[in-house]
Structure 1
Amino acid sequence: MMTFQPRIAISGGGPGGLALSLLLKQRGISPTIYELRSKPTPEELTKLSGMLDLHDESGGKTLRECNLWDDFQAAVGDCSEEQRVLNPQGTVLHTDEGEFSSRPEIPREALTKLLLKNVPSDFIKWNHKVMAARHTHNATTGATEIELDLGPNGTASYDFVVGADGAWSRVSKLLTDVKPFYSGAQWVTVTVRNASTKYPHLVELVGSGGFSALGLGNGILSQRGPQDSIRVYAAVSTPHEYWAKETGLEAMTAAEAKTILLDDKLFGKWAPSLQDLLATACDEETKDNPGKTIDILPMYMLPVGHRWEHRTAVTLVGDAAHLMTPWAGEGVNLALWDSLDLAHAIGGVPEVEDAAAWQVALEPRVREYEEAMMARAKGKAAESARNKDMFLSENGGEKMAEFFKSAFANAFAALERADEVESGGINRGTVSGE
């Protein structure tokens, strides 16, 4: 008798969905990924994108299990783990060289390319958007099914569906009515390419890794990236969710928008060097992309501690499950961690004869996955919310500097304790009662 092969669909082809498909493949399961975008060309996968720092206990662990660690290591290096923190006056409050960091940075597109290279091409249906999902009952097999509405591509039914479809997930509607809400901050992105040749003074300002100038409720941040780039972010605190439309920014190029960004209400009173960084990046962005409107995104989040009641045949990973702001650097790491744990849950189901028996065996495993995922996401979301309020405050630079200094002090203390253990000091003291 043939072993039952479950029909599994993944809505969304981002890092979480791709990693999950690869991990399931290792376990003899062939899922179907539905991705609304067109298949990216090799040129598109080399375009400049934001940097992602992968954490050892989550993103790094997942890539190791995907057997991609060596390839990942070969793709990092454009952005060091150095950190610089300034205030709006341009005063340097903290610098480090990433001595105690183990979070290597990789461009988002490079991570996507790495995963795509290893996921079988027939797993992915490009230009397929999941419009809606609904529970149905198969009277013949007795199993629960999830029917996906794929718009012009018809419908398809599955034994299990994973929502990896981001902030505005259609699959999540099977589990919860809670929607993301506006966090109170906007994110403006502009980029300088070939910075060392064109603007060595900016390279000297921002360094080789992460750069954060924070204060007065706003921030100018940057990361180094491919093509000797400086990717610059302007973080703007505003209660107005549709700020870009209300100010007219959404219709402007970056070069046009710099006048508003450098107004006294935003960054016009900041140090000349910081204004120069933002203005130059705006001009370079428009030179590289003539006529393109500036990239402005309002930042959304789900409530801290968001959860749902388990339902058969469906679950969520990544932003669909626990959308948070980027101030803890956990988004992609949690998505990869979710995918790793979910793959373990699915792969742990013993051999069965049919869909109904498979779902019965899977049910407690998915419940366990969801409880663990929700618990860790709650902690990370709370951290991200605290950091957002702390860093986008009147004295955000000073608070970030204290954050790093405290982290360094803890790391030094941990290192000293480890040295004592290695030398036998703690063990001797414990034995002798000293």
Structure 2
Amino acid sequence: MSGPPFQPRIAIVGGGPAGLALGLLLHHRGIPATVYERRNKPTAESLAPPSGMLDLHAESGQAVLRECGLWDAFQAALGDCSEATRVLDSRGAILYTDEGELASRPEIPRNALTQLLLQEMPPNTVRWGHRVTAAETSRNAATGAVEITLTLGPEHGRATHDLVVGADGAWSRVRSLLLPDAAAPAYSGANMLTATVRHASANYPHLVELCGSGTVMALGGGHVITTHRGPQDSICVYAAVRTPDEHWAATRGLAGTTAAEVKDVLLADVGLFGAWSAPLRELVGVACDEETRDNADGAADLKPLYMLPVGHNWAHRVAVTLLGDAAHLMTPWAGEGVNLALWDALDLAGALSDEAVSGGNHAGAAEWQAALDPRLREFEEAMLRRAAEKAELTARNKDLMLSENGAQALADLFSSFGGAAPPGAPPEGEGSN
């Protein structure tokens, strides 16, 4: 009498949008997987504050939500940020504007996207508070299968799997299994501050008029101020500083300081934002003060931006792969990161649910891995080709936006696309995975 059908042990390392989406897509296909996430389980309170806005594209982010049966819930979560766009120079002059009439990339708060994915996730799929500190490959002498063992810290021990998917972001632990000699991303040439103004219409109506209902990008001298409208009538402000100094915050004495203290440096230095128009300087100042008021004990969200080399790849290996930032980290200057990550999840779910992989009568892990391996190769090749194209676009946009005359260059670029989903999209919120 034959035993039960073989059930592969699949691990997804990382519980950001891509890891959660992959877990949910596999669940809908009847394929169990375990998601390991280092953060504690989010509460309603922790997901309530405004978060970065993500513009989801039809072929990637939107397609995943349709596949997961979340389209109606996604539509209900929209409305905090329109697709309207303005480009200003450092003097505050408007060089380009549209109302998003030719675009179709609706914005959703990152926290809202997380909530949508989690609400459909089966109980116990996500192992919260499980930090992967190491990943090792070995071959089972008895079965011939490749096994990946994850070290989950002293509280959770170790776990062995037949497939491990690294969705663990910029500083991926899983990436070291595929790129042991070149796993670290490189500094991109910019540091970025993020700060938020809540209840803006009541308290700062003139800043709401400046920022409009969607996105503003003000550029000049190699620096950029970007705004998104968001939940709780908020304005999320990103201030990007072009600098060759990866550790610029520490060099300027800002490491660990509040946003209000960062403001003093940004607005006092004419080489940064000190000579910009009064309304733009006020916008940065108010955002920093409000951020400090809301998070009195927290350090400013000021950090360098990193990227993996454009067009990088790795030698394929059995039983392990990557997606999202772990696979192709890039800067936010084309709004592609989360969309690529969700596209990766959709394609990988398809590879794992291929009839030869999920429907085969596999005797064990080695046979299942043999059936999966060509699909996994095809997935990686397609993902890396797609990512290389978007990474090149992102790098060009980065150089354009951080140029001396970035405002006019960006306005000309947007105008050349007639307002139709321009590739110079604003920064995505808080990472892709």
TM bucket normalised to smaller: over 0.9
Match of 2:378 in 1: 368
The alignment of Structure 1 onto Structure 2 pairs a total of residues equal to 412
Q: Who wins on radius of gyration, i.e. which is larger?
A: 1
Q: 1:287 is matched with which residue: 270, 288, 293? A: 293
Shift of 1:3: 2.1
Give the distance between the partners of 2:297 and 2:171, measured in 1 at CA: 28
Q: Once the 2 structures are TM-superposed, how far is the Cα of residue 181 of structure 1 from its aligned partner? A: 0.4
* Deviation at residue 120 of structure 1 after TM alignment: 1.2
Deviations 1:243-288 (A, max 9, x none): 0011011232111221100021210100111101111111111111
Contact 2:103 2:419 in 1 (8 A): no
- For the residues of structure 2 that align with 1:246 and 1:409, how far apart are their CA atoms? 40
Q: Which residue of 2 aligns with 1:217?
A: 222
Aligned-partner Cα distance in 2 for 1:133–1:333: 27
Deviation, 1:79, is 0.2
Shift of 1:87: 0.3
1:396 maps to what in 2? 406
Check if 1:164 corresponds to 2:167: yes
Q: TM-score, normalised by structure 2?
A: 0.93
- Report the counterpart of residue 44 of structure 1 in structure 2: 46
Question: Distance in 1 between the 2:398 and 2:411 partners?
Answer: 14
Higher RCO (CA-CA < 8 Å; seq separation 6+): 2
The alpha carbon displacement at 1:238 in A equals 0.4
Q: Which residue of 1 aligns with 2:212?
A: 207
**Cα shift readout 1:2-37 (whole Å, capped 9, x = no counterpart):** 321110001000000000001111121110111100
The CA RMSD measured in Å over matched residues stands at: 1.2
Distance between the aligned counterparts of 1:239 and 1:256, measured in 2? 22
CA distance in 2, matches of 1:77, 1:411: 18
Unaligned runs of 5+ in 1: 413-434
Residue in structure 2 matched with residue 428 of structure 1 by the alignment: none
Report % sequence identity: 62
Distance 1:104 1:409, change over 3 A: closer
Deviation at 1:403, TM superposition (A): 1.3
Q: 2:88 aligns with which of 74, 86, 89?
A: 86
CA distance in 2, matches of 1:112, 1:411: 24
Q: Report the 3-state secondary structure (helix = DSSP H, G, I; strand = E; otherwise coil) of the residue aligned with 1:250.
A: coil
Of stretches 348-357 and 270-279 in structure 1, the one that deviates more from structure 2 is: 348-357
| Aligned residue in 2 for 1:180 | 185
Match of 1:384 in 2: 394
Question: Residue 328 of structure 1 aligns with which residue?
Answer: 334
Specify the SS of the correspondent of 2:63.
helix
Q: d(CA) in 2 for partners of 1:137 and 1:292?
A: 46
TM-score (norm 1): 0.93
Structure 1: how far apart are the matches of 2:166 and 2:61? 19
Cross-structure match for 1:296: 302
Query: Could you tell me how far 1:121 is from its partner in structure 2?
Result: 2.3
Corresponding residue number in structure 2 for 1:96:
98
- Which of 247, 257, 265 is 1:260 aligned to? 265
Query: Which residue among 130, 136, 141 is the counterpart of 2:143?
Result: 141
Q: Which amino acid aligns with 1:151?
A: G
Distance 1:10 1:206 in 2: 39
1:291 CA drift (Å): 3.2
Instruction: Describe the SS at the equivalent of 1:151.
Output: coil
**CA 1:254–1:4: 2 relative to 1, 3 Å:** same
CA–CA distance in structure 1, aligned partners of residues 372 and 260 of structure 2: 54
Structure-to-structure mapping, 1:240-279, within 5 angstroms:
240-262=245-267, 263-279=269-285
The Cα of 1:292 is off from its aligned counterpart by: 2.0
Pick from 407, 418, 432 the counterpart of residue 417 of structure 2.
407
Choose the corresponding residue for 2:61, options 59, 62, 73: 59
Conserved 8 A contact 2:311-2:391: yes
How far the C-alpha of 1:70 sits from its partner, in A, is: 1.0
Match of 1:155 among 158, 179, 195: 158
**In 2: Cα distance, 1:187 partner to 1:38 partner:** 26
CA–CA separation in structure 1 for the residues paired with 2:301 and 2:9: 39
Q: 2:308 and 2:249 mapped to 1: Cα distance? A: 22
Structure richer in helix, relative to its length: 1
2:364 corresponding residue in structure 1: 354
- Using the TM superposition, give the Cα deviation of residue 409 of structure 1 relative to its aligned residue in structure 2, in angstroms: 7.0
